[in-house]
Each structure stands twice: as C-alpha cells, then as structure tokens.
C-alpha cells in the first residue's frame, strides 16, 4: 500500500513555489490524505507547483481560492487545478480532502502525439480549474474515476500501470470538459500579473520587519498604488497592507513558539511599533492573546 502523505504546513520558496517533491523522477505522482483543519492556521496557504492537482472533498466544507477566484465546496464535490496556478485552501472546521498531485509527464512524454494532442491543450488552456459535481450530467464519471484512483492508492498492493490507466481515463474526460469550456473561456490571470504579484509578495516576506507602505510595495514592480491594490484584491482577496500585517502575525506566532523572547520584543522584531495594536490584531486573528498562544503551545 502506498503511504498516504500528511503535512501540517505549506513549505514554499520565495516565489511561493511548493518545495515538496511530489513522487519521484521515475514516477512523479503522489497521493495525499489531508485535513485542512490540521494545517497551520487551518489553511493550506498560498502556493503553486508545475504539477496538476485533483482534490475531492470527502468530509466538511472548504474555501478554495484559485488564482483570482474563490469557491466554496462541500462534501461530494471535486476540483482540478491546472499547472502553475497559485491556490490556497482554508476551512472553519474539519475538512478531509484526499488528493493527487502529479506531473503530466507520467501520462506521456512531451514529444509524443498523446502529449501534444491531448495534454498540452489542457495545460495551456484558459482554465485555471474545473469543479465537478455529481449533480451535473457526465461529471459523475469524473468523480467515480477519481475515487477509483484513490482506492487504488489505499490498496495493499498498488499497481502503477493500473493507476496510470485510470489517470489517462480521467484526463480524457478533463480534455473533453476543457474543449467545452474553451468555447466560453473564463478570465485568466496573465503570467505577467502573477509574476508581479509574486515579486510584491517576496518584497513583503523579505522586508516585513521594516516599516513598509503601499507605495513601497507598488514601486517594486513600477505600479501605481491603486494597481497594486487591484492585483492583490483580485488574486488574493486581501489588500497588500493586510497581507503584510497577516504575514507579520504568522512570523510572530512562530517566534512565540520557537523562542523565549518577550511579547514586546517579538512585536518589534516583526514590524509592529505599537504593542497594543499587535496584541489586538493577534487575538483577532488567532482567537487568543500572544501569551495564551505561547502557553497553549507548551512553552
């Protein structure tokens, strides 16, 4: 039986590319059984990867932020996330989501007819994601095939060739869905916009202990403040300044657990000039005071 991978945090580089290797070079496929509620801050935070991803909501309800869109999905539905699309999952309670992440190269070599005719068109399509519901005619087959792939990974003796056969069947159905949706393509965040967003986020991650203004963030990509605000709101559903504050709070939470530094020292080290404001925002975000957070963490 293939081991079901479990993580409780999202690890990325400065561009927000996920650093976890999904499978191996010989078999770039990995099955995960995860509960969003068990991750840090009850979310699988913003990340992207060159692999594609299929997720099924087995239990609970979750918010899926995919590119510039937000979807609320409940048990019994599924979602396909295309390559290199930035995404985030969050939940307000237990949300169990078996999922698979794999390179399309597990299906066919890049030079092959199969790849050029059926795989590349999906990867290069305008579809950031596809949502599947058993209530929509035809999509029940997609969900059943996805569940069959999961069952295969849960079995005592995983058969890779049977897994790939099921993946090919699944992909053929996705290809047909894409052909339908491409007739009325949805808006797609351009690679240039994504790059600008990532540069601004990297600037925040590197300079968060300093005093940073919206103008400072916008200047990193030579945009106006209103344009920078629009890119953040459209893609991350949050303003640049609030993203900065939330990032500072996450860094502060980590320091509360990993150091013995005082609360006031941690507030200063993460860019908060006013200790009262820091404590208020911390409690609003985490539901407890900084001292209570440290105590619950066992320090």
Domain harbouring 88, CATH code: 2.60.120.280
Looking at residue 181, its pLDDT comes to 55
Query: Do 282 and 175 share a structural domain?
Result: no
The structure tokens listed for 11 are: 């690890």
My answer on whether 145 and 52 are in the same domain is yes
**What φ, ψ does residue 79 adopt, rounded to 5°?**
-150, 140
Q: Which domain holds residue 166?
A: 29-181
Specify the pLDDT at position 156: 84
> Is 5 within a domain?
no
Query: What is the pTM assigned to this prediction?
Result: 0.71
Helix axes 160-181, 139-154, angle to 10 degrees: 160
CATH code of the domain in which 258 resides: 1.10.10.60
Residues, the chain: 299
Closest listed residue to residue 124, CA positions, set 86, 87, 83: 83
Write the DSSP assignment of 216-271 as a string of letters: HHHHTTT--HHHHHHHHHHHHSS-HHHHHHHHHHHHHHHHHHH----HHHHHHHTT
What pLDDT does 281 receive? Answer: 94
pLDDT at 184 (0 to 100):
47
Q: Which of 132, 155, 181 is the last residue of a domain?
A: 181
pLDDT of residue 120: 93
* Short-list 39, 43, 46, CA closest to 17: 46
Same domain, 226 and 284: yes
53: how many CB neighbours lie within 10 A of its CB? 20
Phi, psi of 89 (to 5 degrees): -120, 140
Question: For residues 243-258, b (16+ Cβ closer than 10 Å) or e, as one string?
Answer: bbbebbbbbbbebbee
Domain end among 159, 181, 203: 181
Burial class (CB in 10 A: 0-12, 13-18, 19+), 109: exposed
Average pLDDT for consecutive 10-residue bins of the chain (299 residues)? 59 82 95 93 88 97 86 96 91 96 96 94 89 88 96 91 97 87 50 78 91 94 91 88 93 92 95 94 92 81
Copy the structure tokens of residue 140. 């029940």
State whether 100 and 169 are in the same domain. yes
Does any domain span residue 129?
A: yes
Rounded to whole angstroms, the Cα distance separating 119 from 223 reads 36
C-alpha to C-alpha distance for 102 and 245, rounded to whole angstroms: 34
What's the total number of domains in the chain?
2
Residue 84 is predicted with a pLDDT of 87
């Amino acid at each position: 039986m293939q081991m079901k991978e479990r993580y409780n945090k999202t690890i990325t580089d400065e561009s927000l590319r996920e650093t976890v290797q999904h499978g191996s070079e010989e078999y770039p496929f990995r099955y995960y059984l995860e509960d969003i509620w068990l991750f840090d801050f009850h979310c699988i935070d913003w990340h992207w990867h060159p692999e594609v991803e299929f997720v099924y909501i087995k239990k609970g309800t979750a918010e899926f932020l995919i590119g510039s869109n937000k979807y609320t999905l409940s048990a019994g539905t599924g979602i396909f996330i295309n390559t290199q699309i930035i995404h985030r999952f969050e939940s307000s309670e237990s949300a169990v989501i078996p999922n698979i992440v794999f390179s399309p190269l597990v299906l066919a070599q890049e030079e092959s007819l199969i790849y050029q005719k059926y795989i590349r068109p999906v990867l290069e399509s305008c579809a950031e994601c596809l949502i599947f519901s058993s209530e929509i005619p035809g999509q029940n087959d997609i969900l059943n095939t996805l569940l069959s792939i999961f069952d295969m990974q849960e079995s005592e003796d995983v058969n890779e060739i049977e897994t790939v056969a099921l993946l090919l069947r699944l992909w053929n159905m996705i290809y047909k869905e894409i052909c339908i949706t491409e007739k009325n393509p949805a808006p797609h965040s351009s690679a240039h916009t994504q790059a600008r967003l990532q540069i601004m986020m990297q600037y925040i991650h590197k300079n968060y202990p300093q005093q940073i203004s919206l103008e400072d963030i916008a200047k990193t990509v030579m945009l106006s403040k209103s344009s920078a605000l629009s890119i953040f709101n459209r893609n991350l559903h949050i303003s640049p300044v609030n993203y900065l504050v939330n990032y500072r709070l996450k860094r502060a939470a980590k320091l509360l657990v990993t150091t013995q530094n005082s609360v006031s020292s941690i507030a200063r080290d993460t860019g908060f000039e006013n200790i009262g404001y820091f404590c208020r925002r911390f409690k609003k975000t985490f539901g407890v005071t900084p001292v209570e957070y440290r105590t619950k963490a066992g320090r």
